[in-house]
Amino acid sequence: MKTIVSFALALSLFLCSAHATVDDALSFALQAAQPYVKEGFTVREDYWGGDLPVKQPKAIVQQLFKGNEYWFWMGTDVASAKLSVHVYDAEGKLAEAEYWRNKPHMAAARVVPKVSGSYYLIVEIEKSPLERTHWSLAYGFR
Amino acid sequence: MIKRSSTARPAPRKNDSPPHPPRAVTPATAWMLPVLCAAFLGPVCFAQGEPPRSIDVGSLPATVVDEVVVPVPTEVFGVLDKLGSPNWHEVLRPVKTENPGKRPQVALLLGATIAEGFIAVEAQEAEEVKKIGRQVLSLSKAIGVQKSVISRTSSIIEAADKKDWQTIRQEFDGASKDVKQAMIELKDAQLAQLVSLGGWLRGTEALTQVVGKNYSKDGAELLHQPAILDYFQRKVDGLNPRLKENAVVKKIARRLPELHTLIEPAGGVSPQKVEKIHSITAELVKTISSQD
């Protein structure tokens, strides 16, 4: 009985902790977005997220529209982790107009699409003390 | 009009200045890393240095490619507003207050109704926004997820009184996310996909109505959405047999490949193609809204 209770407690702590880290990663992504909201960017409620090992990039396909300007904001709850997000067009050419990284918890990229269509968002944990690092990616447009 | 950029592709500007990151220290040999990575380690590898100027998207393993986030209608409508002054009152359709009985159809209608909300915001029709907000709640109730949107719909109605259009847009986007999340929690993820599909169909019907009335290449280019069509096609193909057998879903599944062909850019999306896409999406939205 004692073992079952201990296991249940450990499991619930693990689940709470995992949930909290995803939420924290998103809160850092949204924190990164804040200054741009004042510049007229609308931040989407939907977002991407998960956990990744170091130096194993993940690709996300996303539809972007010519005539809009987009910012993609990536966040993590791990302060010492280094992140990056970059945007490529359907042919694999680098499409972003600017990007920044090397700020604790955050990285971002801006794109002004030259054509409407599919784009690849490449997210990566460049450095982290953890085996897998929670991340989240939000975006906004104007 | 949209400002056209030069065809030259400038190097991305690394902005290490405030408001955000501290200045990055780039090693003198950083330029070599992407080259070495590309040569030896595969199509996507650029840790520690500048991003490579190109990647081989054909070599991306399917497992690392995550799902699209379906754009909200405002992403498209905002561009149309920049291209001209569409008459959104003409596009706006009064909401019906009856609910169709079957859950898949209710989910599709819920998505289409939320899309109608975005149109009502473009038309700045506060009373219609309120009616749509109430209908979103009613449809959510019909599929057991009303708790997830009560606060959203209250905010929509409150913001409509103040004509706070930006808040209403945000709340409709949030309502869509919350009902889908609630469906996923109820182990009904496939129904959540139908909400997205219904919203996309109504949004595309509205887009083609505006572009069809005042055709421009820039406007028609907004219809080039291969990733979205791929996504919906995959989701519809993967529906469980019970959902697939629904007459409305069946009809949509039959027309999706046709829409996919029409949005391909070979020769651009011509006025004829815009008209055809409009006729298909209008027919499907009518089916979604029907009581049969």
**8 Å CB contact between B88 and B203:** no
pLDDT at residue A12 in the model: 46
Calculate what percentage of chain B has a pLDDT beyond 70. 81
| CA distance linking residue B37 with residue A12, whole number of Å | 41
Amino acid identity of residue A82, one-letter, is K
Chain centre distance of CA B217: 20
CB count within 10 Å of CB B72 equals: 26
| CA distance linking residue A127 with residue B87, whole number of Å | 51
Say yes or no to pLDDT of B17 above 50.
Answer: no
Say yes or no to pLDDT of B15 above 50.
Answer: no
| CA distance linking residue B254 with residue B251, whole number of Å | 5
Q: Which residue has the higher pLDDT, B32 or B253?
A: B253
**8 Å CB contact between A46 and A98:** no
Range B216-233 average pLDDT:
94
Q: Which residue has the higher pLDDT, B9 or A117?
A: A117
Give B10's contacts in chain A (Cβ within 8 Å). Answer: 97
Say yes or no to pLDDT of B93 above 80.
Answer: yes
Range B90-117 average pLDDT:
92
With a cut of 50, list the residues of chain A below it in pLDDT. Answer: 9, 11-19
Q: Do A57 and B45 touch (CB under 8 A)?
A: yes
Confidence of residue B99 (pLDDT cuts 50, 70, 90): confident
Domains observed in chain A? 2-141 (2.60.120.380)
Amino acid identity of residue B69, one-letter, is V
Categorise residue B124: left if φ over 0, alpha if ψ from -120 to 50, beta otherwise: left
pLDDT at residue B134 in the model: 96
Categorise residue A40: left if φ over 0, alpha if ψ from -120 to 50, beta otherwise: left
> Which tokens sit at B102?
């079957």
pLDDT at residue A15 in the model: 44
Range B7-14 average pLDDT:
41
pLDDT at residue A16 in the model: 42
Q: Which region among B27-36, B53-62, B214-223 has the lowest average model confidence (pLDDT)?
A: B27-36
Q: Which region among A62-76, B104-118, B256-270 has the lowest average model confidence (pLDDT)?
A: B256-270
pLDDT at residue B130 in the model: 97
Helix locations, chain B, DSSP H: 32-40, 73-83, 88-91, 103-123, 126-142, 150-161, 165-185, 189-213, 217-221, 226-237, 241-244, 247-263, 271-289
Chain centre distance of CA A53: 14
Residue B278: which of B212, B199, B224, B225 has the closest Cα?
B212
Q: Do A61 and B68 touch (CB under 8 A)?
A: yes
Range B128-147 average pLDDT:
95
Within 8 A by CB and 6+ apart from A90, the residues are: A117, A118, A119, A120, B57
**8 Å CB contact between B256 and B245:** no
Range B210-230 average pLDDT:
94
Give me chain B's average pLDDT, please.
84
Give B53's contacts in chain A (Cβ within 8 Å). Answer: 93-94
DSSP A11-54: HHHHHHHHHHHHHHHHHHHHHHHHHHHTTTPEEPS--EEEEEET
Confidence of residue B23 (pLDDT cuts 50, 70, 90): very low
Q: Do A66 and B221 touch (CB under 8 A)?
A: yes
Give A28's contacts in chain B (Cβ within 8 Å). Answer: none
A93 vs B2, B54, B60: nearest CB: B54
* Model pLDDT for residues B162-183, shown as the tens digit of each residue: 999 999 999 999 999 999 999 9
List the single best residue of A68, A72, A85, A119 to mutate versus B (max B Cβ within 10 A): A68
Range B263-283 average pLDDT:
90
Say yes or no to pLDDT of B41 above 70.
Answer: no
pLDDT at residue B58 in the model: 85
Confidence of residue B280 (pLDDT cuts 50, 70, 90): very high
pLDDT at residue B101 in the model: 79
* Model pLDDT for residues B243-254, shown as the tens digit of each residue: 999 999 999 999
Chain centre distance of CA B231: 11
**8 Å CB contact between A110 and A73:** no
Confidence of residue B2 (pLDDT cuts 50, 70, 90): very low
Q: Do A139 and B69 touch (CB under 8 A)?
A: yes
Q: Do A35 and B221 touch (CB under 8 A)?
A: no
Confidence of residue B262 (pLDDT cuts 50, 70, 90): very high
